[in-house]
Amino acid sequence: MIEWLSMGGYAYYVWMSYGALAIAIVAELLVLASRRRRALEQLAQHAQDEAFEEQAA
């Protein structure tokens, strides 16, 4: 296993590459999730504001 991880001595290069890709994908997924959450929160806020306005009117 250790032998496989060391990638014939090229561990640094191989894992920096695959690691960067993994980080990039995880980061993108997190950003996607948070964007969706924010959008839904803003919508909920809008809906609330509307409900108040309807009540006041």
Partner 1 sequence: MAGSGFFKYSSPASFYPLAGRLVPVFGWLAAALTVTGLYIGFVVAPTDFQQGEAYRIIFIHVPAAWMAMFTYLVIAGWSAASFIWNTRLSAMMAQALAPTGAMFAFISLWTGAFWGRPTWGTYWVWDARLTSTLILLFLYIGLMALRATIEDPRRADRACAVLALVGSVNVPIIYFSVQWWNTLHQGASVSLTAAPKMAETMLAGMPVMGLAAWAYTIAAALHRVRSIILEREAHARWTRELVR
Interface contacts to partner 1, rule CB under 8 A: 7-10, 13-14, 16-18, 20-21, 24-25, 28-29, 31-32, 35-36, 38-40, 42-44, 46-47, 50
CA angle (17 as vertex; 12, 23 as ends), nearest 5: 115
Smaller CB separation from partner 1, 20 or 52: 20
Diameter of the chain by CA atoms? 74
* Shortest distance (Å) from residue 52 CB to partner 1: 13
* Shortest distance (Å) from residue 38 CB to partner 1: 8
d(CA 3, CA 11): 10
